[in-house]
Chains A and B, each alone.
Chain A
Amino acid sequence: MSESAPAGAPAPPPAPPPAALGPARRTGAVRLLLRHPLGLASGAVLAAVVLAVLLAPVLSPAEPGVSSLRDAFGGPAAGHPLGFDSAGRDIVARLLHGGRNTLGGAVIALVVALALGVPSGLLAGYYGGWFDSAASWAVNLVMALPAMVVLLASRAILGPTVWVLMVVLGFLVAPAFFRLVRGIVASVRNELYVDAAKVSGLRDRRIVARHVLIVVRAPIIIQVALVSGIAIGLQAGLEFLGIGSGDTPTWGAMLNEAFKNIQRAPLLMLWPGLALGLTSGALVLLAAALRDVLEDRGAAPAARRRRTGPTTITAPRSAGACAGLLSVRDLAVSYALPGGGEREVVHGVDLDVRAGEIVGLVGESGSGKTQTAFSILGILPEGGRVCRGSVTVEGEEIVGMPERRHRELRGNVVAYVPQEPMSNLDPAFTIGSQLVEPMRCKLRISKAEATRRALELLRLVEIADPRRTFASYPHEISGGMAQRVLIAGAMSCDPRLLIADEPTTALDVRVQAEVLGLLRRLQRERDLGVLLVTHNLGVVADLCDRVAVMKQGRIVETGTAEQVLHAPQDPYTRKLLGAVLDHVPARRPWQPSNAEVS
């Protein structure tokens, strides 16, 4: 039976190893970092510092510990470019060797923090349960400890060596990694692709390695850059206070010695200070650059929002006069491309809605139907603009209208019912306040009057217990109820035109039927014009008087619902109707013969 495996298909040409793509993508990240000005500069500085410090034995002109009191506070001399410190030791040698200890200390702290924080974060995030509770509790405890006090105490107990202090410091910053990793892993754990991997029969170890670590990699790298900066700073701070191992050269210890002689030779402070400042500054900037490169990769640079759109209004004004409530002529919408230039997504749409008429705008995803609706409302997302054509509502041109006038129009004349009812209600406010506030603002009525009207609206949209719904928060009501609330909100200022963008797509069919019934009733009672954006031809049959079918930014067919659904002219409309499953016969009953044929 395992022979029934699907690869009975003709043998395909052997593919090159998929792994070849992995490194290619990683070098992509490195290249991006090098192209990032901040990343390039900070990376170069860091690389120089690390290289110099690694090569200290070769580069340094003298041993860091060799002192000749004769040269104390001596200025630059041949072979000693920066001169000598208070004990007559060569400053360059002390800087280079001190850097070794300073950076080495930071590395120790980092290694300890990573070794403690990352695995425990992975375990706690992936499995949850008691380990998660215990680890989180322990981590909160560690974070509550004042780092300085712990470091001072540990020095008193464990003795004055930098290395031990750095291990303790690593322990203290481990929670930063734990919390970062745990948070990300806990959210990745619920991704469907992790479930799919489980169903594929992967071991947990493999799932973590392949699906989870990839996601935490970038944040960890960024955090490493930040934490090493902190570790260097803290270490230098301790040494500066004189809490370190007395005679090992470090940048902090150099600062401490220089500070004692600040009156006599202030310049001695400069060199270790500069080294510390450069290194930590470069680390912080590198972290910022890494964040840009690793986390926002692929994100388009935010296009500046252009307020008023059209370059040309080509439509004849006379057309609007007879067209009724909404008239769209030759509407084109374009989006700014990240690299400059524009891409047109709607190419010259004509559309009319008369008062008391429901017009369906039908199309598949990417057809431009929502873009058309958004242009009528004047709420195109960032980067989008109407680049051609005209939109008139009750004879008034909307394209190029000042935002303030447009805002007046929205709500009073044109109202909007969105697709996702839940995400269009603010979870922090009650339903009531979300209905009352816009009315007070738009209609300039008292709070009591607005409350009375809100309750009336909730009754209008057939909500059984308006008072209870009025006092509820969005999470306390169902999706269908939320959509009714949004319809009530849209009705609050008595609009003439309602634009509904897939108003029932997120709802169950029974609720959908009720909401469609509600829209039909409102439209009849109030002589409302409705532009209904939908992909569902059943909804069109149920509600619409006329239909426009959109494909790739163009309207391919317009007509009454009967015409379009029963005698479609355009091949695309026919294809759409051909995919409707309403009248397909059910499958023939199951026959045992077709079981496990192979």
Chain B
Amino acid sequence: MSASAPGSATVDALLRVEDLRVSFPGKGWRAPRVEVLKGVSLDVRPGETLGLVGESGSGKTTIGRAILGLVPVRSGAITFAGERIDRVPARRRRELSRDIQVIFQDPYTSLNPSLTVGDTLSEPLLAQGYGAREARERVGGLLDRVELPADAAHRLPREFSGGQRQRVAIARALAIGPRLIVCDEPVSALDLTTQKTVLDLLVEIQERTGVAYLFVSHDLSVVRFMSHRVAVIHRGEIVETGEAAEVTAEPRHPYTRGLLLSAPVADVAAQRARREAFEREYGAAAT
């Protein structure tokens, strides 16, 4: 490991994001830029899952996209294995895809509907210079790894359910053996039972390969299940970071407390207590 992390002043972080700012042009003539991330800092260690929790519009997805180079960074630094990657040339960015991969939220639009699963999976392999034959052989292994039948390679995405498609997306992310996978709400479009099996698969893969996850979600319980540490983002700023057990059970920041108290639990008595606490604290739905 030490060979792959030259000048490891950053003790053991695989990914380090410091004071990241991202803004988009405002709508309309000379409108001010809309600042989506207002100085976000976080780090992910090798083999670790950092959960990133926030509501819609909090900027949690933008962090992932900035790390992947899909949105321009306004200021701040993103360091991966000791190397600045926030402003790298296109060629280096393509090389980085060996190490940094993604699983998107929507398994319906993240797979090209007109390509077979086999074509989709061999794409990253071909891009990294594998021969067509070798790529094809590895596709079989990938399907096996995400527990899909081998004949899935010849079928189109529309023949699969949401959970199966998400498995294909996971296989694509795993294809070149990355060190970090940005998981952008990977289970929020899935049914409850499917969600559980996909999460189990992700944990199992992590334990086997030592891949690190930046796990973006709006669901505290999903994040608790997946993460070693959790960061809470609110309106473009990280409001709280800590061990998963602490942040998701006894949060310190009032915003996180609100998130926790407003998430309903499938237990009538516990939920009644939780709801009363929420209404006491936030005065919502005055009766």
Contacts and interface: CB of A to CB of B under 8 A. Distances in A.
A542 B263 CA distance: 10
Interface residues of A, number: 86
A528 to B, nearest CB: 15
Nearest to A363: B191
A541 B193 contact: no
Interface in B40-96: 45-49, 55-56, 65, 68-70, 94-96
B275 A542 contact: yes
Contacts of B133: 14
B101 to A, nearest CB: 6
A193 to B, nearest CB: 4
B264 A539 contact: yes
Given A4-B209, A14-B136, A200-B172, A195 B104 contact: yes
Nearest to A9: B141
B47 A594 contact: yes
Interface string A240-264: 0000000000000000000000000
Given A192-B104, A195-B70, A517-B284, A510 B55 contact: yes
A513 B229 CA distance: 26
B177 A9 contact: no
B39 interface: no
B169 A203 contact: no
Contact of A565 (B199, B268, B284): B268
A365 B163 CA distance: 11
A192 B109 contact: yes
A513 B55 CA distance: 13
B175 interface: yes
B177 A2 contact: yes
Interface string A420-462: 0000000000000000000000000000000000000000001
Contacts of B139: 12, 15, 18
Nearest to B171: A6
Contacts of A211: 112, 115
Interface in A1-55: 1-19, 21
A216 to B, nearest CB: 12
A566 B267 contact: yes
Given A200-B97, A203-B94, A535 B144 contact: no
A201 B98 contact: yes
Interface centre among B106, B133, B266, B279, by most chain A C-beta atoms within 10 angstroms, is B266
Contact of B210 (A195, A462, A587, A596): A596
A381 to B, nearest CB: 19
Contact of B141 (A2, A11, A19): A11
Contacts of A588: 228
B100 to A, nearest CB: 7
Interface string B176-194: 1101000000000001111
B119 A582 contact: no
A13 B150 contact: yes
Interface string B224-265: 111111000000000000011100110000000011011111
A364 B192 contact: yes
A586 interface: yes
Nearest to B11: A592
B140 A513 contact: no
A16 B132 CA distance: 11
Contacts of A520: 285
A190 to B, nearest CB: 9
A157 interface: no
B244 A587 contact: yes
B12 to A, nearest CB: 6
Contacts of A198: 68-70
Interface string B108-124: 01111011101110111
Interface in B264-287: 264-268, 270-271, 275, 278-279, 282, 284-285, 287
Contact of B106 (A6, A192, A203, A540): A192
Give the bracket for the number of chain B residues in contact with chain A: 35 or more
B102 interface: yes
A393 B256 CA distance: 43
B249 A199 contact: no
A15 B140 contact: yes
B33 interface: no
A536 interface: yes
B221 interface: yes
Contacts of A19: 119
Given A9-B144, A590-B228, A595-B46, A191 B268 contact: no
A297 to B, nearest CB: 11
B216 interface: no
B104 A517 contact: no
A365 to B, nearest CB: 6
B138 interface: yes
Contacts of B1: 1, 595-596
A141 to B, nearest CB: 23
B55 A586 contact: no
B70 A4 contact: no
Interface in A294-313: none
A537 to B, nearest CB: 4
Given A541-B268, A598-B210, A9 B102 contact: no
A510 B192 contact: no
A6 to B, nearest CB: 4
B109 to A, nearest CB: 5
Contacts of B266: 537-538, 540-541, 565, 577, 580, 582
A497 interface: no
A193 B111 contact: yes
A516 to B, nearest CB: 7
A539 B114 CA distance: 38
Given A7-B141, A10-B144, A21-B154, A581 B221 contact: yes
Nearest to B221: A581
A144 B272 CA distance: 67
Contacts of B245: 585-586, 589
B12 A584 contact: no
Given A18-B116, A196-B169, A576-B192, A509 B12 contact: no
A509 B123 CA distance: 37
Contacts of A594: 47, 207, 210
Contacts of B225: 581, 584, 586-587
Contact of B191 (A191, A535, A561): A535
A538 B177 contact: no
A586 B224 contact: yes
A475 B99 CA distance: 40
B47 A18 contact: no
A596 B48 CA distance: 10
A476 interface: no
Contacts of B138: 5, 7
Contacts of A526: none
A579 B192 contact: yes
A584 B266 CA distance: 12
A17 B136 contact: yes
Contact of B145 (A9, A191, A596): A9
Contacts of A513: 261-264, 275, 278, 284
User: What are the nearest 7 A-B pairs in CB distance?
Assistant: A12-B140, A517-B285, A538-B264, A201-B97, A5-B177, A537-B266, A513-B262
28 contacts: A1-B1, A4-B209, A9-B141, A12-B139, A12-B144, A14-B137, A18-B153, A191-B109, A196-B172, A200-B175, A201-B176, A202-B94, A202-B123, A210-B115, A364-B192, A508-B56, A509-B218, A510-B259, A513-B284, A517-B284, A541-B267, A542-B271, A542-B275, A576-B192, A585-B245, A586-B245, A590-B47, A596-B46
Interface of A: 1-19, 21, 191-193, 195-203, 206, 210-211, 214-215, 364-365, 462, 479, 508-510, 512-514, 516-518, 520-521, 535-542, 561-562, 565-566, 575-590, 592, 594-598
Given A201-B128, A595-B47, 17 more contacts: A7-B142, A9-B145, A13-B150, A14-B137, A18-B154, A21-B116, A192-B110, A195-B102, A200-B123, A200-B175, A206-B127, A215-B114, A537-B266, A579-B192, A588-B228, A589-B244, A595-B45
